[in-house]
Structure 1
Amino acid sequence: MTTTAQAAPAAPALADTTEAELLLRVLGALLREDVVGLRTRTTPVDRADGRWLRLPAEDGDALLLPVAEDGYQSVHAARLPLLVRESDGRELTTHDEVLDALGALADPVDRGGFDAFAEECRQTLATMRLHSRTRDEAAATLTAAHGAEPADWTGLAGGLAYDTLAARLDHPVYPTARGRSGLDEDQLHAYAPEFHPHFALRWIAVPRQDLTVAGGPDALPALWPTPAALGLPALDHSHLALPVHPLTVGAPLDEALHAAGLTGRAVLAERPYLDVVPTLSMRTVSVTDDPTLHIKVPMATATLGLRNRRVIRPGFLADGVAGQRLVEAVVAREPRFQGVVLHADETVYAHAGHELLAALCRRHPAGLEDAVVTPLAALLAEAPGGRLLIDHLADRFYGGDPLALLGAYLRLLLDWQTTLFGYGIALESHQQNISLVLDRGPAGDTRLRLLFKDDDGPRVHAARVRATLGADAPLGFDDPRAFSEDDRPLTDLFTTITLHLCAGSYAFGLARHGRADARVLLDLVRDRLAEAAERLGTAPGEPGAVLRAHVLDAPQLPVKAMVTAGTLLSKERSGAADINKHYTTGPNYLLRQEGSP
């Protein structure tokens, strides 16, 4: 029931706009995820300045949150960066104050999660301020290394510059994504992608019998060092080298070696080796002398939630290969995607049986030297000079029309992802794991392709995969959570990753930047998805009909509850079998408005 109350308190005079920006996102995420009942236990209150949500407290007091209509994964979003105590009108304008107040309403066993999230906010706030102070410095670094025109940063080496832009942009959903657990400013300058640094990897020599190498030692890249090259010639015949991120050296590495039974048998080389540049994921680095080779190494830190640690479990490596083989099998059967949907090879890896003692060798396709290769995550980032990257790319490839670029991208992306769905596959291919590849074809016309990586977290309808690819379909996943007996886990993943992050976020983002009306952009997304789904069949039970019922025409859509599962609640409390696939619900922004065609 909507009530009418006295005039709203005035918005506070916030001197620190960075904290205000962060707090708006934090409040929006907590509202979206219904933390302490911000969605389901509140009563709307209409005031002169707009709508507020009233959250009652057990002591008879209440908290008031000013909101505005949103539509992207939530009906409402925070309108002002504050909560107000109803009893005395006190305005809570910092993340510490807000989380203290909300944490007091939580179950006592969950309050530690609110303290942890407050620390995430502090780290993120410090990082945001660091990014603001170093914006011009970072732009100068990129233009000096790659040129003044961002649309001309080509090849996989140029793609690292786009990673730097993306690392300075907020995540579409997770409010504290720019924070990295436990890292100080010096460490960020030295190792984080937003500073485009160069550094050398550290290495340990591991007894050969204790190191699993997919494909055998001969499969490792030619530039892989021997123990002798690391200054350990006595170990050349008995040990193999395994890279270690410099930030893992010290207590985390010592503890990992002890846990793996390698203390005293594995040797840390004093000599750093192999110059690298961090990619957007930070734990994955690009080899300076061979940009087609990326090496993923675990790190003892966390991003996108306290429990989202940047380690590499051995099973994930095997699952990445299984996912790659599955995708390759589909491409082999679908000629229109051959040479258009590209994939990095991730079949070579090594591990010593511990999540901090592992490495993945990612080899990118050849022939991309003259193409723009940018992660989707960079498209709405600010490029040097202040314009969005998508505008620069549209100028070069689409006659200055960013909507034309978006439309072409959506057509290919949704055709591909719905085709996978038809085979019984949904990928966790988010903005960081897909790169847009743009160049000119033989006739001089624009050619758009997609480059994928990281297939270790799919959802697979095993029966449909076998029905479409045959009984010998590659289904060798280590993680039993990959398999499903019905379509629901697939439609959830398709919606939260492909639709929300890789399509809807650009419709809302471009509208926010004034490129077009939001409805026009959302209709573009809907039309492209409808076209793709129709190709899968519209009869009841056919994959296209499933997508129409559960995505296009569903009254609500699943939404990731990333803060809840990643930090606020333990797995036991949240019930999340997978913290990256824990959902709440939000509005379906694809539904046609009443009266529209």
Structure 2
Amino acid sequence: MTVALDTTAGPGDDSAAEESTLLLRVLGALLREDVVGLRTRTTPLERPDGRWLRLPADPAAGALLLPVGPDGYQSADAARLPLLVRESDGARLTTVDEVIAALRALADPLDRPGFDAFAQECRQTLATMRLHARTADELADELTQRHGSSSATWTGLEGGLGFDAVAARLDHPVYPTARGRSGLDEAQLRSYAPEFRPDFALRWLAVPRAALTVPGGPAALPDCWPTPARLGLPHLGGSHLALPVHPLTLGAPLRDALRETGLEHDAVLSERQLLTVTPTLSMRTVAVDADPRLHLKLPLATATLGLRNRRTIKPRTLIDGAAGQRLLETVLAREPRFAASVLQADETVYAHAGHELLAVLCRRYPEGLEGSTVVPMAALLAQAPGGRLVVDELADRYYGGDPLALLDAFLTLLFDWQTTLFGYGIGLESHQQNISLVLTEGPHGTRLRLLFKDNDAPRLNTVRLRDTLGADAPDPAEFADPRILAADDQPVLDLFATITVHLCAGSYAFGLARHGRAPLGTLLDLVRDRLAEAVERLGTAPGDPGAALRSYVLDAPHLPVKAMVSAGTLLTKERSGAADINKHYTTGPNYLLPTGTSR
């Protein structure tokens, strides 16, 4: 797709600062992933202003010099100013195009198209960053009018949409260009992206019943589902069912999908727009305004977190999400101590026509959340209207003004649940976007619960599952994606480290330290202590699940780290070897080792 946002700086844009901010993240990610040998082919140099890395280049261009400083989160080093320098003439490369072009020249010719795509991705992200900067006050006013001036008063699932909006303007902890969405222009972002808190109506496609897979039949679909008659197509009432279509999927993407499925002559697009919705943080998932408990996940013909990370919905993920939910319900039934603290959205109702652009998931949230604050973890370090961090405003209301107390509470519950799942052989891809904190004031203080969704890409140790669940273990045939199933702990451990530890714990320790809420060592000790307590409950004798977690996560010299840029954009699957672009790893330092070892 072409970059549709205006990528030039407008009047008043602090374009140089924004580009430097982006490039520091980009170079940090490329260094972490050892792109063109930034980790393994470089020679360290000590200079008066600190350490630099010298990367050999071709004789004509000379070497490239990259100034670095300590990182520690998922890489030993982080890029720093003055960005990339050409040794031959001392020229500083300070723009997206200059930096990516210099690194592209060192790449294998087979990989250079990926560098071109990544440069485009960077430009899209830079344009989005500038758009966000220009419209920050606009969003604050919109959220204040809709939800109130303090995020601590945003309650229920409707209030959660305000948290989604501020989270959408926050950078991803790992992926450097997460704010960019390929091919969308400003008008489309304002109309459909969560960071603008818009409302819009869905379009509907009447699809022959015989072409649709709807587990449970049409009666399982939500009560708000329109009939063909409501869509102005009464003659199709007995033969067709309605399938929602996101407005951004109209046009060529929808026509291509219908042609590929042979439905171009039998499916009918209604001219009527029905069901007003609001985008959530994932953008492709929308909340139904008239029924806040109902969210619809709809395929989009765009990509985020990498060129190959398309926002479509493969039918098999719907099958796997329902199977994953059933498995988690089985575990919850055996672990009653989590009955009041771990909540799940229902994801068993869906429909698809055998194509990744002709599908919908009908996600139903639990009842009784109206008086609680429901905040996705991804929003905690975002800015609320007025400029304060969400975590600070929530800490004021629920934890006596202490954000570390809030962190302590959610880490304790999160690690307890996730290590319990590991004991069964289960690892969830429950990252910051897929977990919400549910905070409720009660007579005995604050009650914290965790709300999970999108459990369609777990990793399962089938041997441990059979050993722990016996006859209740799922039939492997229930899962459509064979990558979910493994015969040992390794894929489960990788997921636990990269998702639960890095994204849901470590990122907050480093983030709160960056914001000055506590020393980094104090925050990392808290993460390690709470994880160690949870691991101990699994048993740490040889062969116990806790022993595997302790060895692989708490005591290992290095931890797995997602190589998201390489697998998602720079390299083809054939070149990267990634079976799953979201589960392709390199390694980084273990920041959980006791003080004096890695800190």
For the criterion TM > 0.5, the same-fold answer is yes
Residue in structure 1 matched with residue 16 of structure 2 by the alignment:
16
Equivalent position SS for 2:354: strand
d(CA) in 1 for partners of 2:64 and 2:597?
38
Contact 1:82 1:94 survives alignment (8 Å) = no
Deviation, 1:579, is 0.1
Partner of 2:168: 167
Whether the 8 Å CA contact 2:69–2:78 is kept in 1: the answer is yes
C-alpha separation between the residues in 1 aligned to 2:364 and 2:255? 30
Counterpart of 2:72?
Answer: 71
Q: Which residue of 1 aligns with 2:448?
A: 448
**For residue 27 of structure 1, what is the aligned residue in structure 2?**
27
Q: 1:520: how far off?
A: 0.4
Contact kept? 1:27, 1:81, Cα under 8 Å: no
| Mapped pair 1:542 → 2:544 | yes
Matched with 2:141 is 140
Q: Which residue of 1 aligns with 2:9?
A: none
The residue aligned with 1:576 is: 578
- State the alpha-carbon separation in 1 of the partners of residues 397 and 532 from structure 2: 29
C-alpha RMSD of matched pairs (Å): 1.1
- The aligned counterpart of 1:198 is 199
Question: Is the Cα–Cα contact under 8 Å of residues 430 and 452 in structure 2 kept in the other structure?
Answer: yes
The secondary structure found in structure 1 opposite 2:541 is: coil
The amino acid that maps onto 1:512 is R
Contact 2:82 2:92 in 1 (8 A): no
Secondary structure at 1:71 match in 2:
coil
Q: TM-score, normalised by structure 2?
A: 0.96
User: 2:481 corresponds to which residue?
Assistant: 479
**Runs (5+) with no aligned partner, structure 2:** 1-13
Alignment of 1:367-446 (within 5 A): 367-441=368-442, 443-446=443-446
CA deviation string 1:70-105 (max 9, x = no partner): 000000000115210111101100111111000100
CA distance in 1, matches of 2:143, 2:596: 47
Aligned amino acid, residue 398 of structure 1: Y
Could you tell me the percent identity over the aligned residues? 74
Aligned 8 A contact 2:149 2:386 in 1: no
Give the Cα separation in 1 of the matches to 2:529 and 2:74: 19
Spell out the pairing of 1:53-64 with structure 2 (5 A cutoff).
53-59=53-59, 61-64=62-65
How far 1:595 sits from its partner (Å)?
8.2
User: Which has the larger displacement, 56-65 or 212-221?
Assistant: 56-65
Tell me the secondary structure at the aligned position of residue 471 of structure 2: coil
Tell me the alpha carbon deviations over residues 168-222 of structure 1, each in whole angstroms, 9 at most, x when there is no partner: 0000000000000100000000000000000000110000100110111000000
**Contact (CA 8 Å) 1:24, 1:81: kept in 2 or not?**
no
Hey, what's the Cα distance between the residues in 1 that align with 2:121 and 2:177? 7
What is the deviation of 1:444? 4.2
The letter for the 1-side match of 2:137 is: D
Code of the residue aligned with 2:213 in structure 1: it is T
Quick check: 509-518 or 59-68, which moved more? 59-68
SS of residue paired to 2:272: coil
Counterpart of 1:555? 557
Q: What do residues 96-115 of structure 1 show as CA deviations (whole Å, max 9, x unaligned)?
A: 11110001000000000000
Give the letter aligned to residue 44 of structure 2.
P
- 1:57 shift after superposition: 1.2
In the alignment, is the contact (CA less than 8 A) between 1:293 and 1:362 conserved in 2? yes
CA distance in 1, matches of 2:216, 2:46: 65
1:346 and 2:347 are equivalent in the alignment = yes
Q: Which residue of 2 aligns with 1:233?
A: 234
Contact (CA 8 Å) 1:23, 1:81: kept in 2 or not?
A: no
Structure 2 contact 330–472 (Cα < 8 Å) conserved = no
Cα drift, residue 594 of structure 1: 2.4
Matches of 1:445 and 1:594, distance apart in 2 = 37
Structure 1: distance between partners of 2:170 and 2:597: 37
The equivalent residue for 2:331 is 330
Quote the residue 2:529 is aligned against: 527
Aligned to 2:100: 99
1:282 matched residue in structure 2: 283
Helix, strand or coil at the partner of 2:230: helix
Distance 2:521 2:132 in 1: 33
Q: Once the 2 structures are TM-superposed, how far is the Cα of residue 593 of structure 1 from its aligned partner?
A: 2.0
Partner of 1:470: 470
* 8 Å Cα contact 2:429/2:499 also seen in 1: yes
Question: Is residue 15–residue 130 contact of structure 2 (8 Å, CA) maintained in 1?
Answer: no
The corresponding residue for 1:6 is: none
Cα drift, residue 472 of structure 1: 3.5
Specify the SS of the correspondent of 1:581: coil
AA at the equivalent of 1:326: L
Take 1:282 and 1:236, find their aligned partners in 2: how far apart are those partners? 31
Structure 2 counterpart of 1:517, from 499, 516, 519 = 519
Q: CA deviation at 1:15?
A: 5.7
Residue matched to 1:267: 268
State the distance in 2 between where 1:595 and 1:412 align.
27
Measured after TM superposition, the shift of residue 474 of structure 1 is: 2.3
Partner Cα separation in structure 2 for residue 81 and residue 274 of structure 1:
51
Aligned equivalents of 1:15 and 1:196: distance in 2?
A: 25
Larger mean Cα displacement after TM superposition, 53-62 or 17-26 = 53-62
TM normalised by structure 1 equals: 0.97
Change in CA separation of 1:564 and 1:595 when aligned onto 2, cut-off 3 Å: closer
Contiguous gaps of at least 5 residues in structure 1: 1-13
Structure-2 residue corresponding to 1:457: 457
Aligned to 2:495: 493
Render the CA deviation track for 1:413-444: whole Å, top value 9, x for unaligned: 00000000000000000000000000123x24
What secondary structure is seen at the aligned counterpart in 1 of 2:18? helix
Counterpart secondary structure, 1:429: coil
State how far apart, in whole Å, the 2-side matches of 1:22 and 1:54 are: 22
The 1:96–1:596 alpha-carbon spacing in structure 2 relative to 1, beyond 3 Å, is: closer
**Cα distance, 1:203–1:403 mapped onto 2, change above 3 Å:** same
The separation in 2 between residues aligned to 1:382 and 1:324, in whole angstroms, is: 33
Task: List, as ranges, runs of 4+ consecutive aligned residues in structure 1 with deviation greater than 4 Å.
Answer: none
Question: 1:81/1:439 Cα in 2 relative to 1: closer, same or farther (>3 Å)?
Answer: farther
Cα deviations by residue, 1:313-364 (Å, 9 ceiling, x for unpaired):
1100000011101111111111110021000000000000000000000000
Equivalent residues of 1:437, 1:450 under 8 A apart: yes
Partners of 2:340 and 2:220 in 1: how far apart? 25
The C-alpha deviation readout for 1:276-333, integer Å capped at 9, x for no partner, is 0000000000000000000001000000000000000110000001110111111111
Separation in 2 of the partners of 1:151 and 1:594? 38
Aligned match of 2:304: 303
- SS in structure 2 at match of 1:265: coil
**Structure 1 residues 315 and 15, CA, compared in 2 at 3 Å: closer, same or farther?**
closer
SS at match of 2:582: helix
Matched residue of 2:166: which SS? Answer: helix
Q: In 1, are the aligned partners of 2:590 and 2:598 still within 8 Å (CA)?
A: no
Determine helix, strand or coil for the equivalent of 1:301: coil
CA distance in 1, matches of 2:343, 2:462: 24
3-state SS of 2:129 partner: helix
Secondary structure at the aligned position of 1:428 is classed as coil
* Cα distance in structure 1, aligned partners of 2:505 and 2:491: 19
Question: Distance in 1 between the 2:407 and 2:23 partners?
Answer: 30
Q: Would the aligned equivalents of 1:166 and 1:378 in 2 still touch at CA under 8 Å?
A: yes
